[in-house]
């Protein structure tokens, strides 16, 4: 059993591999993937497998393979301010990456069948907000999760700009999924063993594109044996931001602009990460048939605009990847100082009461 790309030593190398194989193709998606460490969503005893391009399942907790998530993120064509619905939101890993792109005025909702997974997702979300330095490089659309069967969403719920379903959708539920979309919206879901992108071009008009051959566990059908009644899932209302929240967003945005201007005047990177040296690694030809663990299979790429056009080297050839004009440094030279959180330093230097400083920092621990 193998993955579509080579295993990485850390999150950044995993993203490098996904970019090289063209699963990640846009800067926004790359930034979101780099900002959230995939290993943070694993149980401690399984973290050794976090940077492999494999699905992972433990009890009700499930993560799709990185190449699946990257194809989903690219297909959703995310933009700031959109509304997003994640059906089968699981650990919240995908919802959190989406939230980094949607920004503070987006909508980010998830429906998950298992209440224990909802609690796990909330813990991981809280850990990300409170401990990740990358959080300060974005304005975040925090996801909200509700427990229930995604096939029982209340008919009076709002429609969404973007919808993703993380379980296999039976053909009889295709129209149900489509009706969750606004006109102009995009739905991505596994349908008939294909990861499928559906765009709603009009009230009754659709465009469909097959992306990948996949095999997901199917959606669990509602069970009304106990009461005989449907348990409708009520999604969170689309709430208007409080004045206090808007003030925090505005102040943080102003400070970021100030930091950026100061950095430009000094020729520094500001809030951006400094350039990284890529490690020396073996370049492998992308495989055409892939099998994942736990009932999730990646069979082949259906849409592949650059199928090894210039890849004439032996799959075992080694390519030394270097910095722009310098040789790859030795391992001892790769140990750079931890990046500085300029926004945090700026907030802590303001002549404000400590409670207000902590509020501007989302009461974060670092």
Q: Which domains does the chain have, with CATH numbers?
A: 70-239 (3.40.50.150), 241-266+340-365 (no CATH)
Phi, then psi, of 355 in degrees rounded to 5: -60, -35
Nearest to 189 by CA among 177, 202, 180: 177
Model confidence at 133, pLDDT cuts 50, 70, 90, reads confident
Tens digit of pLDDT for each residue in 286-328? 444 444 444 444 444 544 444 444 444 444 444 444 444 444 5
The mean of the pLDDT values for the chain is: 84
Structure confidence at residue 239 (pLDDT): 82
Are residues 153 and 110 in contact, defined by beta-carbon separation less than 8 angstroms?
no
Measured between alpha carbons, how far is 111 from 234 in angstroms, rounded to an integer?
Answer: 10
Residue 339: DSSP 8-state: P
- Whether 330 has a pLDDT exceeding 90, the answer reads no
> 0.85 exceeded by the pTM?
no
What is the reported pLDDT for 215?
Answer: 84
Query: What tens digit of pLDDT does each residue of 350-361 get?
Result: 999 999 999 999
Higher pLDDT, 308 or 200: 200
* Confidence band, pLDDT 50/70/90 cuts, at residue 2: very low
Burial of residue 18, with CB atoms counted within 10 A of its CB: 0-12 exposed, 13-18 middle, 19 or more buried: buried
Extended beta strands in 77-125, E state? 83-87, 107-112
What's the pLDDT at 315? 44
For position 236, what pLDDT does the model report? Answer: 92
- Residue 134 predicted with pLDDT over 70: yes
Residue of 121, 85, 82 lying closest to 101 (CA atoms): 82
Q: Can you give the pLDDT at residue 294? A: 45
User: What is the per-residue pLDDT for 340?
Assistant: 84
- Active-site pick, 6, 64, 89, 132: 64
Is residue 6 scored above 50 in pLDDT?
Answer: yes
Residue % of the chain over a pLDDT of 90: 64
In the block, tokens 């090289």 appear at 20
Contacts of 201 (CB under 8 A, 6+ apart): 183, 184, 207
The total number of residues written for the chain in this structure: 366
Q: Give residue-wise pLDDT tens across range 222-249.
A: 876 555 566 899 999 888 889 999 999 9
Looking at 71-85, 162-176, 210-224, 241-255, which range is the least confident one? Answer: 210-224
Q: Taking the CA atoms of 53, 279, 271 and 30 in sequence, report the sign of the dihedral they define.
A: negative
pLDDT band at 8 (very low <50, low <70, confident <90, very high): confident
> Facing residues of 310 across strands?
none
Query: What is the rounded average pLDDT of the residues 99-126?
Result: 96
User: Residues 55, 59, 65, CA angle at the centre, nearest 5°?
Assistant: 10
**Is 64 assigned a catalytic role?**
yes
Q: How far is CA 364 from the centre of its chain?
A: 21
Compare 337 and 56 and report the one with higher pLDDT: 56
Cβ neighbours around 335 below 10 Å, total: 8
Give pLDDT, residue 198.
98
49-63, 169-183, 255-269: least confident range? 255-269
């Amino acid at each position: 059993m193998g993955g579509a790309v080579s295993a990485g030593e850390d999150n950044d190398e995993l993203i490098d591999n996904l970019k090289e194989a063209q699963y990640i193709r846009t800067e926004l998606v790359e930034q979101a993937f780099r900002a959230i460490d995939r290993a943070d969503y694993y149980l401690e005893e399984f973290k050794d497998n976090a940077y492999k391009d494999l699905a992972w399942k433990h009890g009700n907790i499930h993560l799709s393979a990185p190449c699946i998530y990257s194809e989903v993120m690219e297909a959703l064509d995310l933009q700031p301010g959109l509304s997003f619905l994640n059906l089968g939101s699981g650990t919240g890993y995908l919802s959190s990456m989406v939230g980094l792109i949607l920004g503070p005025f987006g909508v980010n909702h998830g429906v998950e069948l298992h209440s224990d997974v909802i609690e796990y997702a909330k813990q991981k979300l809280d850990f990300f907000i409170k401990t990740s330095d990358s959080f300060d490089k974005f304005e975040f659309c925090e996801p909200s999760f509700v427990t229930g069967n995604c096939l029982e969403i209340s008919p009076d719920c709002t429609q969404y700009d973007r919808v993703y379903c993380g379980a296999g959708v039976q053909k009889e539920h295709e129209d149900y999924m489509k009706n969750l979309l606004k006109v102009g919206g995009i739905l991505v879901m596994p349908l008939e063993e294909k990861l499928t992108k559906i765009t709603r071009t009009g009230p009754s008009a659709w465009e469909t594109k097959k992306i990948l051959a996949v095999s997901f566990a199917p959606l669990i059908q509602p069970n009304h044996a106990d009461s005989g009644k449907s348990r409708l899932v009520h999604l969170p209302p689309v709430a208007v931001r409080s004045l206090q929240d808007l003030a925090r967003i505005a102040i943080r945005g102003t400070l970021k602009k100030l930091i950026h201007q100061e950095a430009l005047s000094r020729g520094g990177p500001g809030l951006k990460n400094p350039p990284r040296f890529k490690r020396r690694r073996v370049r492998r030809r992308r495989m055409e048939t892939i099998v994942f663990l736990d009932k999730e299979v990646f069979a082949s790429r259906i849409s592949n605009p650059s199928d090894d056009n210039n890849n004439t080297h032996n799959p075992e050839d080694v390519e030394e990847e270097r910095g722009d004009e310098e040789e790859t440094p030795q391992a001892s030279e790769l140990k750079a100082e931890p990046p500085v959180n300029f926004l945090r330093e700026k907030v802590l230097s303001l002549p404000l009461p400590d409670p207000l400083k902590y509020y501007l920092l989302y009461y974060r621990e670092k």
